[in-house]
Structure formats: structure tokens, C-alpha cells
Chains A and B, each alone.
Chain A
Amino acid sequence: MNIAAPQFIGWAILIPLLLVMWFLKIRRRKSEVSSVLLWKKALEDQRVKSPFQRLVKNLLLLFQLLCLLFLILGLLRPESGSIIYASRLNVIMLDRSASMSSLEEDGRTRFEIAKEKALDRIEEVDGERAVLISFGENAEVLTPVTTDGSLLARMVNEVSPGSGVTNFEDALELALSVVRQDELIPAAGAGSAGTDGSDGSEELLSNQPDARIFLISDGVVPEWKGDSIEVPVIVDSVGFSSSNVGIIAFAARREFTEEGDLKVLLELKNTGDDPLEGVLRLLGDGEVLKETEPKTLEGKESWILSFETISGPSLQLEARWIPTNSDALALDDSAWLVLENMRKLRVVQVGRPNLLLENALLVIESVELFQIEYDEVDPETLASEFDVAVWDGEVPDELPTGLGHLIFNAVPKQFWKEEPPLVEAPRLVSWKKEDPVLRFSSLAPLDGRILKTFPLPKRPGTSGLVECREGSIISRFSTKNLRGLVVSFDIFESSWPLSPSFPFFVDAALRDLGRLNNGINSGLRSGDLLEIEPGVGIDRLDHKWPSGKITGLSLEDAGFARLRLIDELGVHHFHGLSQRKESAEDEDSNDFQFNMYVPLNLLSLEESRIEPRPDLDLGGAEVDSSISGWGESRREYWRILLALGLICLLGEWAVFHRR
């Protein structure tokens, strides 16, 4: 038995103090008797018979003394065993991935069963140290290493099932790091290293061969490919159901055909052994766009489905598998896409009139072209009005942020401070054919055919796309809030504008710099990182979840936000208003509104495969049955003492009111 908090022994002074107060506090009622002769004799006889009779008979004092005694003992925190020497570490890993939402025959989900098993394990390791880790798309340590079973149980009850894939590697790495970190706990009474000339590392505990990992999961975890696990991993498998059809792929692209404007691709798979029947329904903003005939998927059968449909003005596209008889996992029965409006790219051409460049820009159908003089440029409003600025011959020293820059025959001073030397008819050495900008462009017309150019050297934040020996004649620069391409020669001094590759280059460059996509947002998987950059003047966004709840999201100083969407599959909506909008005179303007729809899908074959895999073997060390009895593990008694103290207090109260 140890005393964990001996500093509280000073409170024991309260016991004699209570006795003194007790004797002082008694307010005796005066009562006159003819003589105290007989009373004296009676009391004397009684004292002789039993000197402690008074104390015993005085239940009030007795209860108060016992109450005080128990409370002081509780403060001292007596404990048996030792947290360091005698208590092994139990790492309880609780799977909260999407597959754990599968329904079992008894009507409970696997996660509810897993929580029950976790509580059983906590009860089993009562008195030993334990730590709780939940894992799904990411792993999280929910409690510190503790012997407090109630804390562990409380945290187990607070964990909710997730909707992501199983990131088992991270989870097991985290569990092993907890075990390894535990080895670094200094032994009790170990002095600081070197005070007596000894090596401090010797004072650390040796490896923890007695640590255990309890893995409570449905077994839908990938094969462990990491290092050998040095501690036993005890797997508690949950779940027996296997009947499930899930959507494992969902994609679409805009393709105008006679049958519609949208081509949709879907893949479903029956991951169980029994045939399952159902229909697939495609919904646009909740309205049914297409529904298949009932289809029976045999065990392990995949169903790849491709069709055209008319999306119309729909914004959200949902594919929903509706089983005739419900399957075990509902999370993989739906998937979402977001159809974004294909607006035209707003491009501003700055500088002198350039017919060749203008022609190249005008042939691009998705571009809305504006032209302004260099002196008319307002750097503050440029980003809010245009997606890409095309500079020709002149470029400001400080490029405006928030839009892309395509620069011809000028050098942005932010990246290249010194004037590069002119080179005549340079020979091309290499170009990056896989870069999206150059993917469809042949640069052969440039090889030795540029009259003069000023090749740019490589600088921080820059990369060369097309290089000659002296430097890059087409360069890319990119920082956190600046992006652009520099063509370091006058297109009039080359034959490139006459080549078909030029408009392809301009088109690809504008698409790349303008960040326009194909109008289909296929979304994220649970746990993926999402970056949002709503633009100037917005410092806060409203996040509307698929369930309808709305939370706030503050942007960082640079005007963007990063977050991981981990829960609630469906379409998440981010909405923001710029400060200028709030004070603008024209309330109807949409220019300063920001809307972003992000679909969050499961689309995981591994999670849809819910069949039980009880033979999960992670190759952990063997469990040493000889150390199954842990009677020496630490137990604290303060709760018992506190309870006894309260009982005494109740007794005192009862006696007091019975008098």
C-alpha cells in the first residue's frame, strides 16, 4: 500500500481539532437538582466501568470522527501496486470506419457492438493502465494513459461512428508510438541523470513486454506491411453480416450527345456471397433523372453502368442504390457529384494592341476578353473582375494577387530582379511535354526561330517549362498567392503565332491559370484535405452540412482555409459574403458572394467489403499467458474512502435528526 499524496497528512490535525471543538461546542442545559451527590457517584462508577463509554455512546461524535478520518485518508490517496512497475499498458483501438456502421442481425450496428466490447475490455483491465485510440480515416488518441476506467468508458460512449475509410496504418503506428513512448517513463525515485555520476538512461524503464494492443474492428483493415509488431495484438472481431451492395465508383463528364448533356459512369459491387436485388436511381437536386430496371447482383458481381442523361440546371447529382431488401451498410448506397456552372473565363489583355495575341484569345470559345491600357490597370480590383491577366511588353513591379498572369515579353521583377541578357535564335534544349500547358502544343516552331529572347534563369518559386542553354524561354512562377507564366520573347519576333500550337498553348495556359475545370466536382473522400480560397474580402464562411446544420469557418490571414471533411457523407456547402458586399450599395450584386459545393463520398471497395474476416493476423508478439494475473496492478482506494465518509455523514445526519 502506497500513499500517493502524503502532503495531505497535515489535514489529520482536524481530528483532534474536531474533538476539542466537540467538547467546547456542547451547550449544556442547566438543570437544578437537590444534590449532585448521587450523580457524582453514578458518573464515577460509570467512568470506572468504561472510560470510552461516552465516546462510544456519542454516535454523533463517532460519525463525525469517522467521516473526517475517511476523508483525510481519501485525500492521502492510498493505492496498492504501482503505476510504473506493476501495471501493464493496454492500448484499446476502436474502429470507427464506415464499415462499422453495418447492421447486424440483432439490429445493432457493428460500432455499437464494438463499443460494448471496448467497455468489456476496459472492465477487464481495471486497475491497469490503458489508452483509447479511435481510428477511421485518421487515428486519434482519445485519452491519456490512465488507470481511470470511468474516463475510458466515458470516452468510449462519446465516440460516434465515422464515414471514412480505414487508415489502419496510421492507427497502428500511433498505437505503437504510444507503447514505445511509454518506455521512456522514468522509474519511480529515479534522480536526474548524472547527479551521481550514473548514466541517466539506465534510470528509464526497459521495454514494455507486457503492453498489449486490443484491436476492436470488423476486420476491414488492409494488410499490415509495416515493421514487425513487438507487442501482442489481440483482435476482437465484430460483425457477421456480409450482404451488401455498394457504389464504389461514380463519375460524370459533360458530353453533348443526342441523348443528353451528361455522361455518367457508375460501378456497383455486391461484396457479399448472396444475390441482392435493387434499382439504381440518379437524382438531380432531388428530382429523379434516371432509374434503372430492378437488377439482381450475384455474389461478388460488379455492375458497371454508363449512360447519358440531361442534367439541365441541376446542381447536385446523387446516385442512389435502392435495395429491394435493405443491405447491411447504407453508407455506400449513395454517392454525390456537383455540377458547376461553366462560366466563361474572364481574361483581360493589358498593353498595346496585339492582333496576333487577340486573335488567339478570341478563338477560344470559353474566354470572355477585355482589353485595357496599361495605365488603366487598378491592381486592387483586378482579381475581383478577371480570372487571368495577359500582359504584353509591360508588367507592374508588384503583380496583383488572386488571378493568373500570362506575361509576354516582360519580366516580373518580383522573381527576376536583374535584366537577363538577350539571346538570338536560341536552340531549345528541353520542354516539359507532360505539363498541362504544353501537353497539346508542339514547340518545334520555336527551335532556333526566335529572333531574340531573354532566357530567364531559375529562381526560387520558378520553374522552366521550355529551356535553351541560357535559360528558360517559357517559365512558370508560383507562390502561395501568385501564379503565372512568362513567355520571354516578343511573339512578333517568332513564327509561333502562325503555328497551330500557339492558340492551343494560349488555351491551355488560360485554363491552367484561370483554374477552370470541366464543371464536374467529383468531390472528396472522408478525411481528405480541402482547401478553400474564396477571394478578397471574405474572412469567414458558413459551412452547411448535409444534415442541415450550419457551422462557422474562419479563414486564415492569407484568405484561405484548410480543413478535413471527415463526417457526414453528402454535399457540403460553403458560403461567404465579402465585407464589401455587406456595405455595398448594390445589394443585388452577386460579385462578392462565394459559394462552394463539395461532395463527400465513401466510394471504397474496402469499406464496402464487410464480410467478416475473423482470421485477421497482424503478426504481433505472442500473448504471455503467464502474466495474465495482475494482482499487483495499481488500485486506488480514494473512491471507497470517500463513499464511506459520505455514509458516515449520512449516519451523523440521521442521528442528529433523531435526537
Chain B
Amino acid sequence: MSNSEPSAAPLLDEDFLARCAKLVLVSRNVLQGKVRGEKRSKRRGMSTEFADHRDYIPGDDLRHLDWNIFGRLEKLFIKLFEEEEERSVFLILDASASMSSGEPDKWRHARQVTAALGAIALSSGDRVHLRVFDEQLRTPVPPLRGSRSILKLVDVLEKLKPESETSLDKSLRAHSATCPSGAIQILISDLMDPEGVESAFRQIPGVRGESWLIHLLSQSEAQPDLQGDLRLVDSERQEHVDVTMTNSVLKAYQSALSQFREEIRSHCRRYKIQPVEVSTAVPFDQVVLDVLRQKRWLS
């Protein structure tokens, strides 16, 4: 699967999904979910692996009474087991108009990465929340669970259209209000917000769980190949700048881009967010299978 495939093709193919089934999102913190899942939780619960005893409280399930201790000590103890809870993975996808521009297609690339991460999460039993935003958080998609939801997730992504301006702060503020602590939040965006990213990043601090950032830029944004006298039109705000492309202008752009990326990294360090800079020049499967594994986001 490569970037040259047509935009009408499915975001993920079966081979890739098969490879994703063997992967799992790696979080440094133990998660706490409301539904029992496949990941160990701090909470004790219903599983086959013993964890501890506690005093019986009326109303407890007598099936977990430890009869052996009762026989020796004649005290009622309830066996506690490691409860395997499900994790919540929030895929926060930027669907502003800026994601639709650039070569190779940044929007498709973003959706493919999102779909791949979602598929991995669903395959490993995590609950996946797809949050889409532009100038605000769009209507939430119901949480998805289980491998069977992968196709639904892909279907939802394929139907999305990028539009409107970007408002990271407003959107992430709305997201954080409904995001439980301990969840994995993965933000996929080009971060082209004229209001900046700092206040937005403040909404998704890594200290509450895992916060990952996939900073996606198209090849034409990372290495613009422009010549002559141009009027550059902003895809979101209908602003424009007139520029005569010269080597010095291109150098100045590269300088501004480096500065922008450094600011992003700085804010990420501050808010414990793990960033990955991705270019659309790198095929998305290579991003998922190589880059993210190298970053130990996947195993």
C-alpha cells in the first residue's frame, strides 16, 4: 500500500489489517476503564488471575468466597482477582480544510493512519473513540469496540470531508471535557492554527494518560517546490500572500518551518505529549509499521 493509490481505494486493505491484528498500542500507564477488558487495571475485578483478599461485605458474590481460609480460620474472605479492563483510545483527527491540501494527499494519509491506529486498538480489545474536529468538535461517533467495528471505523473515516477553519484550542477543550483520565489520546493534525497550539496542548496533558501527537505535513509543505510570482491562498481563511519565489524566500520558509516544529516539540515536552513528525512522502503503512514501532507506540 502506497501513497500513489487512488483516493477511491479503501483506506486499509486486508493484508494490512492482518498485520495490524498482531500489534497492540503500548501505554506506559495502567489504564482504568468502566468495562472489563483485556488490559490489566489497578482495580481488582473479575478475572482468572488472583490478586488479593478482602473482608467479606454482605452483598458480595459468594462465588468468590475463599473457602479454604474459612475452613482454617473461620473468617470470611473474598478472593480478589486482577480485573482486565478495556482501554479507551481517543483518535482525535483534524478535519479542517488545511488537511485537504498538499501533495501527496494529506487528508487521505491522515485518515489511513487514523484507521490503522483504530484498527490496531480495536483488534487488541480497546474501545476506540473517534473525535473529529475542525473549528469545533464535530458530532461524536459512538465508541467502537471489537474487531468487527474496524470496518465501521473505516467507513466513518471514508465519509469524512475536510472543511472549515482549524480551532485546536476550542476543539480539544470540548474533547477533554469528556475524556476520562488514563485514556490514550492520539491527535492527528497539521497543527496549522493561527492561534497557536499551546493552549490546545494544555487540554490533553500526558499526565492524565497517554497523549500522542502525529504532526502530519505534506511533502509540499515540508519541501515546497514553488517558482515565479505567486499569490498563495490560504485553504481555510481565504487570506493570501503575494510572494516572488526566490532562494532566499524558500530558505526563510524552511527557517520558519523549523522554528514552528521546534515550538511544537517544546510544547509537547512541557505537556508530556509524545510527538511524531510525519510527512506524506512516507507511506502510511511505513509510518505505522516502522515509525510508530520505533517510537514504541506499538508492539
| B5 beta carbon closer than 8 Å to chain A | no
Roughly how many angstroms separate A30 CA and B99 CA in the complex, as a whole number?
Answer: 19
Q: Is the CB of B246 within 8 A of A37?
A: no
Roughly how many angstroms separate A35 CA and B98 CA in the complex, as a whole number?
Answer: 6
Roughly how many angstroms separate A31 CA and B240 CA in the complex, as a whole number?
Answer: 9
Q: Which of A21-29, A141-149, A409-417, A479-487 contacts B (4 or more CB under 8 A)?
A: A21-29
Question: What is the 8 Å Cβ interface bit string for chain B, positions 193-205, against chain A (1 contact, 0 not)?
Answer: 0100000000000
Q: Is the CB of A37 within 8 A of B253?
A: no
| B70 beta carbon closer than 8 Å to chain A | no
16 A-B contacts (beta carbon < 8 Å) = A27-B229, A28-B229, A30-B230, A33-B221, A34-B99, A34-B106, A35-B235, A36-B233, A36-B239, A38-B221, A41-B256, A42-B252, A43-B243, A43-B249, A43-B252, A46-B252
Q: Is the CB of B99 within 8 A of A28?
A: no
Q: Is the CB of A36 within 8 A of B240?
A: yes
Q: Is the CB of B239 within 8 A of A34?
A: no
Given the contacts A29-B228, A40-B241, A45 and B236 also touching, CB distance less than 8 Å: no
Q: Is the CB of A28 within 8 A of B230?
A: yes
Question: Which one of B101, B249, B252 has the highest number of Cβ atoms from chain A below 10 Å of its Cβ?
Answer: B252
| A290 beta carbon closer than 8 Å to chain B | no
Tally chain A residues at the interface, Cβ within 8 Å. Answer: 26
Roughly how many angstroms separate A28 CA and B226 CA in the complex, as a whole number?
Answer: 12
Q: Which residue of A lies closest to B165 (CB)?
A: A35
**Minimum Cβ distance to chain B for residue A213 (Å):** 63
Interface residues in B164-196 by Cβ distance below 8 A to A read 190, 192, 194
Q: Is the CB of A35 within 8 A of B252?
A: no
Question: Which one of A30, A39, A41 has the highest number of Cβ atoms from chain B below 10 Å of its Cβ?
Answer: A39
Question: CB < 8 Å: which of A28, A42, A53 contacts B253?
Answer: A42
Residues of A within 8 A of B257 (CB): 38
Q: Is the CB of B248 within 8 A of A35?
A: no
Q: Is the CB of A35 within 8 A of B255?
A: no
| A32 beta carbon closer than 8 Å to chain B | yes
Q: Is the CB of B253 within 8 A of A57?
A: no
Q: Is the CB of A31 within 8 A of B255?
A: no
SS class, residues of chain B in contact with chain A: mixed
CB-CB nearest 9 A-B residue pairs? A35-B192, A34-B98, A42-B252, A28-B231, A42-B253, A41-B256, A34-B101, A42-B256, A36-B234
Residues of A within 8 A of B (CB): 26-43, 45-46, 49, 53-54, 57-58, 659
**Minimum Cβ distance to chain B for residue A25 (Å):** 10
**Minimum Cβ distance to chain B for residue A35 (Å):** 4
**Minimum Cβ distance to chain B for residue A122 (Å):** 50
Residues of B within 8 A of A53 (CB): 248
Roughly how many angstroms separate A41 CA and B252 CA in the complex, as a whole number?
Answer: 8
Tally chain B residues at the interface, Cβ within 8 Å. Answer: 39
Q: Which residue of A lies closest to B100 (CB)?
A: A34
Residues of A within 8 A of B151 (CB): none
Question: What is the 8 Å Cβ interface bit string for chain B, positions 248-289, against chain A (1 contact, 0 not)?
Answer: 110011011101100000000000000000000000000000
Q: Which residue of A lies closest to B97 (CB)?
A: A34
Residues of B within 8 A of A30 (CB): 230-231, 233, 240
Q: Which residue of B lies closest to A57 (CB)?
A: B246
Roughly how many angstroms separate A166 CA and B234 CA in the complex, as a whole number?
Answer: 89
Q: Is the CB of A29 within 8 A of B230?
A: yes
| B102 beta carbon closer than 8 Å to chain A | yes
Q: Which residue of A lies closest to B196 (CB)?
A: A37
Residues of B within 8 A of A35 (CB): 98, 190, 192, 194, 234-236
Question: Which one of B232, B241, B242, B257 has the highest number of Cβ atoms from chain A below 10 Å of its Cβ?
Answer: B232
Residues of B within 8 A of A46 (CB): 248-249, 252
Q: Is the CB of B235 within 8 A of A33?
A: yes
Question: What is the 8 Å Cβ interface bit string for chain B, positions 72-109, against chain A (1 contact, 0 not)?
Answer: 00000000000000000000000000111110001000
Q: Which residue of B lies closest to A36 (CB)?
A: B234
Roughly how many angstroms separate A57 CA and B239 CA in the complex, as a whole number?
Answer: 25
**Minimum Cβ distance to chain B for residue A398 (Å):** 92
**Minimum Cβ distance to chain A for residue B143 (Å):** 30
Interface residues in B206-229 by Cβ distance below 8 A to A read 218, 220-221, 224, 226, 228-229
Q: Which residue of A lies closest to B166 (CB)?
A: A35
Q: Is the CB of B190 within 8 A of A34?
A: yes
**Minimum Cβ distance to chain A for residue B96 (Å):** 9
Residues of A within 8 A of B244 (CB): 26, 54, 57-58
Question: CB < 8 Å: which of A28, A34, A45 contacts B255?
Answer: A45
Q: Is the CB of B102 within 8 A of A36?
A: no
Roughly how many angstroms separate A49 CA and B248 CA in the complex, as a whole number?
Answer: 11
Residues of B within 8 A of A26 (CB): 229, 242, 244
**Minimum Cβ distance to chain B for residue A48 (Å):** 10
**Minimum Cβ distance to chain B for residue A53 (Å):** 6
Residues of B within 8 A of A39 (CB): 232, 241, 243, 253, 256
Q: Is the CB of A36 within 8 A of B230?
A: no
**Minimum Cβ distance to chain A for residue B256 (Å):** 4
Roughly how many angstroms separate A37 CA and B98 CA in the complex, as a whole number?
Answer: 11
Residues of A within 8 A of B220 (CB): 33
Q: Is the CB of B242 within 8 A of A28?
A: yes
Q: Is the CB of B235 within 8 A of A38?
A: no
Q: Which residue of B lies closest to A27 (CB)?
A: B229
Q: Is the CB of A31 within 8 A of B233?
A: yes
Roughly how many angstroms separate A45 CA and B253 CA in the complex, as a whole number?
Answer: 9
Q: Is the CB of A43 within 8 A of B241?
A: yes
**Minimum Cβ distance to chain A for residue B106 (Å):** 7
Q: Is the CB of B233 within 8 A of A32?
A: yes
Q: Is the CB of B256 within 8 A of A45?
A: yes
Roughly how many angstroms separate A41 CA and B192 CA in the complex, as a whole number?
Answer: 13
